[in-house]
Structure 1
């Protein structure tokens, strides 16, 4: 019985402690991710974007001529944005050999133009970070 009373007291205190009314606050806007071509009518546009990006990388990545078995297991990190015009721009590429970095950059820069992301209805650049593991 003591446990039930203590539990009810804790629950009541927690509920009343966090049920204060806050006036004047509202959500100022919602960030919307870029829309990949073909994902416009998809309810889960962000999931569609990720799937299409993965498919794009699989189909378009070209190994450099100097790729060797020593490169297996290496990793490249590509940071990029989809700018306000819906085009990919590279921000940074790190790790791995230069030729692998260039191949990864080329693949990202060949992403098709898309509907740009937005915030409060205005175009906004959206950042992404993709690992390429060989």
Structure 2
């Protein structure tokens, strides 16, 4: 059986040329499709929006402010001036002199008595002229101020040792330390203005109790006048 195909026929001879032509034709059609535009036939353009026409409109002018009319001129002065005689008598007012006359007697003013106002002054224990006297130190008064100061300090230490009691709660907690005490010997010899500063409130409370038991003293004097005398001392609390 013989084949029907012609062996001399070559179908792929011009295939590349046909492919290039077809590709160019397709690209042309796509380009024309993208560039295609359609415009609506509409001639309804509003000619009233022209700027030139808007400028031709009449603008109303600002009304003028009406000013009031000028005041009428003053009346003219008369040509002749009539002289009128002044027959009315005017009483002159008399101003009385308020200053004293030389003939008046000036009363004598009594001499002004200046009253001395006592000012409370605190004089430290170390510099006061007459130191406060602790009860029992009267016998050393003749020996001078130094002997009185030494006796005062000795009596103060004895008083503290006599009334000293270590707070139980401070002992249980192991609290110890020094309490600084400051008080004032008043002008009547009493003790006041007690202040404490220490490491614990219980120790401060005990120090205040000891100072509160101090007896009334003979007040200190400065220039012969009783004054307040501040005094400071430490009270040491130490566990054995």
Do these two structures clear the TM 0.5 threshold for a shared fold by scoring above it? yes
> Aligned residue for 1:119?
222
The yes-or-no answer on 1:98 pairing with 2:201 is yes
Quote the Cα distance in structure 1 between the aligned partners of 2:150 and 2:198: 27
User: Deviation digits for residues 29-48 of structure 1, max 9, x if unmatched?
Assistant: x6211001110121211100
Q: Which entry has the higher C-alpha Rg, 1 or 2? A: 2
Conserved 8 A contact 1:82-1:116: yes
Partner-residue secondary structure (3-state), 1:90: strand
Superposition deviation, residue 70 in structure 1: 2.1
1:37 and 2:135 equivalent? yes
SS in 2 for 1:104: helix
| Corresponding residue of 1:71 | 175
Aligned partners of 1:90 and 1:109 also within 8 Å:
no
Aligned-partner Cα distance in 1 for 2:168–2:193: 22
Deviation of residue 65 (structure 1)? 2.6
Secondary structure, aligned partner of 2:192: strand
Question: In structure 1, the residue corresponding to 2:139 is in which secondary structure?
Answer: coil
Other-structure match for 1:3: none
Secondary structure (helix, strand or coil) at the match of 1:96 reads coil
Find out whether 1:130 has 2:233 as its counterpart: yes
2:158 corresponds, among 55, 70, 76, to 55
Task: Please report the RMSD computed on the Cα atoms of aligned residues, expressed in angstroms.
Answer: 1.5
**Deviating runs (4+, > 2 A) in structure 1?**
none
| Unaligned 5+ runs, structure 2 | 1-127
Residue 86 of structure 1: aligned partner:
189
Q: How many residues align?
A: 104
**Cα distance between partner residues in 2 of 1:106 and 1:48:** 22
Determine the C-alpha separation between the residues in 2 that align with 1:55 and 1:108. 12
Give the Cα–Cα distance (whole angstroms) in 2 for the partners of residues 60 and 32 of structure 1: 28
Richer in helix (by share) = 1
Q: Which has the higher contact order (CA 8 A, sep 6+)?
A: 1
